Chain A
Amino acid sequence: MSISLSNICKSYKKVKAVQNISFDVNPGELFGLIGPDGAGKTTIFRILTTLLIPDEGTATVAGFDVVKDYKAIRKSVGYMPGRFSLYQDLTVEENLTFFATIFRTTIEENYDLIEDIYVQIEPFKDRRAGKLSGGMKQKLALCCALIHKPKVLFLDEPTTGVDPVSRKEFWEMLKRLQKKEITILVSTPYMDEAALCDRIALIQDGEILDIDTPEAIVSKFPKTIYNLGANNMYKLIQSLQSYEHKYSVFPFGEFVHYTDKRDSFEVANLISYLEKAGLTDISVEVGQPNIEDAFMELAK
């Protein structure tokens, strides 16, 4: 196991941040921690990166215990905190050299690992890190976390506040890193990114709801999803909410994801109900559930 947690608990005074967290990450896996803000993702990261001592339970990273062998862990992991935390007043190259030096290595030694990321920011290597765009900052932070060829890479919400194009690029980079036998633990509040992981853990209020591959989690979804559309979105949601047979109603882009309490029902009944409510241009089709639907179902 590359990362292994068993019954990890941590409280801040009276607030229980995480409770009984257990999961394993296989070597070379891209594992996602998916959950809303405040779910406890950062606490798990801080425990695994030896910044926080758990109240209960044990955890190992790359075979080392997070409490006893913390020194060995610090040598063999890369950590990219959620907040941009490089020196804003140092240039791109100086930041990278700094981290290479404190890991007792050089940029040249592990250049092959960061090459395809670094070439994108190399034109700006003399620019101060504080003057970079958000996407560029993330790339630099990733380079700094990789410069010592870590066995395990921890990325805490790496794409929060990053534009969609840069987010897509970032995930492509992670996929390439995975091929270089680096285990990656990544957290994100974005459900669409979950589908890009090998396995995910859905977490809420410090507890794990489910751990599986994204496909398996979606396939466990018990209901049939209907994508509903109409001329007035707000009224559609209101009408569905007050429909006696509704199970769940979630707006989802231009459609509303609707599930029914009954195992089988006539779509025509629903349409006539909505028409009676004064809605027109009603469209109904059977849709595919996604991670977000699964999360909402589990979090109920």
Chain B
Amino acid sequence: MKTIGYIIQKEFKQIFRNKGMLPIIFILPILQLVILSNAATYEVKNIKFAYIDYDHTSKSRALIEKFNASTYFDVLTDFPSQLKSSTAMLAGEVDVVLEIPNHFEQNLLKEKTSDLSITINAIDGAAAGVESGYVNQIVQSFNKDVKMFFMDTSKKAMQPLTIESIPSFWYNTTLNYKTFMVPGILVLLVSMITLFLSGMNIVREKEIGTLEQINVTPIRKSQFIIGKLFPFWIIGMGLLTVGLILAKIIFNVPMEGSLGLLYLFTSIYLLVILGMGLLISNFTDTQQQAMFIAWFFVVIFILMSGLFTPIESMPKWAQIITEFNPIKYFVEVVRMVLLKGSDFNDILPQLWKTLLYAIVMNGLAVWSYKKVN
């Protein structure tokens, strides 16, 4: 115990003496949390909107007025012809072009139907999808107004029943993206920093040659590993604490569930990450190699964690792969506990899988750590 205690003490001394490392550990994550949480939004605003009105009637103007009233669209200009609008879209000056054909109003009156053409710049597929949704909403609402307008007062009484659905968003009533992004980014930061630090730490001893000296001592494998990794476990917990405080103060993220439960899960989750870091350092010789491998895994884990893209929308095989992604479980648990107030029994499946993962990872890491080669 005394040996482990001394190694931990030594490790902390080294971390706090490394003037380049301290800001990386504490200042950068805070900056990232603040910047990313404000920047990583799914909402598309200030869409550059233009229109071509061949009709020039009160109905066509009413439709354009609806776009004008929307906060999402910036109605930039009207184009006299399709050729002009195409050139503008090619130059990136507009994102969405609405084309109202000739006889738009007349057709609505006579045939009860008319066509509209919408052109969307789909260079960013996600944004184009969102924009298309907004356009549809506006056109639907215009449709309803038109129906009401053309209907005879006598027929109004016998208009067909329509079903309108009004969604109610549970656990995040206003669909505030920060409410679910901030916990996710918190997960990302805790995982990234602890994985990089632990992965590079033992390799560093290899690089500067101290590991060779340590290996010719009676120190036990377990003592050395625990002594080396425990400080990063503490740092991971510290990061979580700092992140939660910021999430509360800056973003006012709801904290419905028990924070103790979140800490319990994190304490196990960090073992997975540290085991992974140790495994990486066992198979690399330089900090550079360790950094690259850690990056590789972190990028895959983050993109497949459900943080930015929902896991439900992934193909079946990808969904199976995400079962092996520890970050996925952490993202799920953080959101469940903070937003939904889930209790111990609710997160039990994630807890079991993470615990199993921790055992396997650390088992592999300790097994592959050799004092002799």
Contact = CB atoms under 8 A, between A and B. Distances in A.
Contacts of B212: 51, 81, 85
- What DSSP secondary structure best describes chain A's contact surface? loop
B17 interface: yes
Interface stretch (B53-61, B104-112, B213-221, B340-348): B213-221
B213 A86 contact: yes
Given A84-B209, A87-B210, 6 more contacts: A51-B371, A51-B373, A83-B209, A85-B210, A94-B10, A98-B10
Contact of A90 (B10, B217, B218): B10
B6 A98 contact: yes
B216 A102 contact: no
Given A50-B372, A85-B210, A90 B216 contact: no
B316 interface: no
Contacts of B208: 85, 88
B222 interface: no
A252 interface: no
A275 to B, nearest CB: 55
A74 B220 CA distance: 11
A72 to B, nearest CB: 9
Nearest to A78: B216
Interface in A81-127: 81, 83-90, 94, 97-99, 101-104
Contacts of B209: 81, 83-85
Interface residues of B, number: 23
B213 A81 contact: yes
A49 B217 CA distance: 10
Interface string A159-171: 0000000000000
A255 interface: no
B214 A102 contact: yes
A53 interface: yes
B3 interface: yes
B2 interface: yes
B219 A102 contact: yes
Given A83-B209, A88-B208, A101 B6 contact: yes
Nearest to A66: B372
B360 to A, nearest CB: 28
B7 to A, nearest CB: 8
A126 to B, nearest CB: 13
A98 B9 CA distance: 10
A144 to B, nearest CB: 8
B2 A77 contact: no
Contacts of A86: 210, 213
B288 interface: no
B368 interface: no
